[in-house]
Amino acid sequence: MRVPLHLLWLFPLVAAVIWFATLLTLLIRWLVRGMPKYPDQSNPLVAFISDIAAFEMKPVFLVGGSITAVAFVGTVCSVHYARYHHSMYGIYDVRWKLWLSILSVIAGIVASSGLVLLGIMDTFRHHEEHNILLKICFGGLSVCAICTSIVYWDQTKKPSPFRRLRLYCIASTAVVALEVCLAIPFMFFMYTGWYRFAGVLEWVICFTGVFYILAFVGFVAVPKEALFEQERQQLLQEDSRESLDA
């Protein structure tokens, strides 16, 4: 099924809204229940998302994660398709960026598949498999984010003819940098026993991801510059036909 170009922005919007709603539902449920401790909870002080999703909220996480995963795949494909399609940005440059785009799409599919499987193979019933899938999911997301940032970096370091695109590229790159800055202390706190800080940081990292996805709405919104170019080409074609008829 071919999605019209002017509707591509729905992919990142749906992914961001559903992921935010899923996280918020899990967090509110945990807080309302008095922050309970679950069996074999990974973090003894602050429940991780996987811990909450392994019990009464598993259907919410499974459905929300699955919708987010499908929409995220559509988002990544749309973002890289928009860069090269002549009706969007039509940016044709060095070949290695095209290969990076392909790698980013593959990594996005891997990450999304991992997210769906995380909901199925929860941390309580499939602890080891869940940890492996978690690494695969975050690894895929990292590769996807880094590759996408590199591919679109040229639109941030110099004035771009697509003004809105430059703004969203800068915002996206800033969120990626922020996520890296948060991930480093998270790993440190987690493996040194500072569980309270680690638990809070995990939630912050996941909620920050919502803004990363939202930035892609600007990436795949049909640029006004492209619309003007289409109108100009149409007028030139009409003038050409009139000249031939005359």
pLDDT at 120 over 80: yes
What single DSSP character describes residue 107? H
The pLDDT assigned to 29 comes to: 93
> Average pLDDT in the 196-218 region?
94
**Residue 136, pLDDT score:** 94
pTM of the predicted protein model = 0.87
CA angle 200, 204, 205 (to 5 degrees): 115
Could you say which DSSP state residue 19 is in?
H
Question: Does position 212 have pLDDT exceeding 70, yes or no?
Answer: yes
Residue 2 has pLDDT above 90, yes or no: no
Whole-number Å distance between alpha carbons of 28 and 5? 37
Does 216 have pLDDT greater than 90?
Answer: yes
Give tens-digit pLDDT for 17-38.
Answer: 999 999 999 999 999 999 998 8
Question: What are the sequence ranges of the domains in the chain?
Answer: 9-245
Token pair of 179, please? 């996520």
Q: Tens digit of pLDDT for each residue in 168-196?
A: 999 999 999 999 999 999 999 988 989 99
Say if residues 222 and 6 touch (Cβ distance below 8 Å): yes
Q: What is the C-alpha to C-alpha distance for residues 94 and 194, in angstroms, rounded to an integer?
A: 45
Among 50-59, 64-73, 113-122, 228-237, the range of highest mean pLDDT: 64-73
Inform me whether the pLDDT recorded for 79 exceeds 90.
yes
pLDDT of residue 159: 67
Q: Is residue 57 over pLDDT 70?
A: yes
Confidence of residue 101 (pLDDT cuts 50, 70, 90): very high
Q: What is the mean pLDDT of residues 142-154?
A: 94
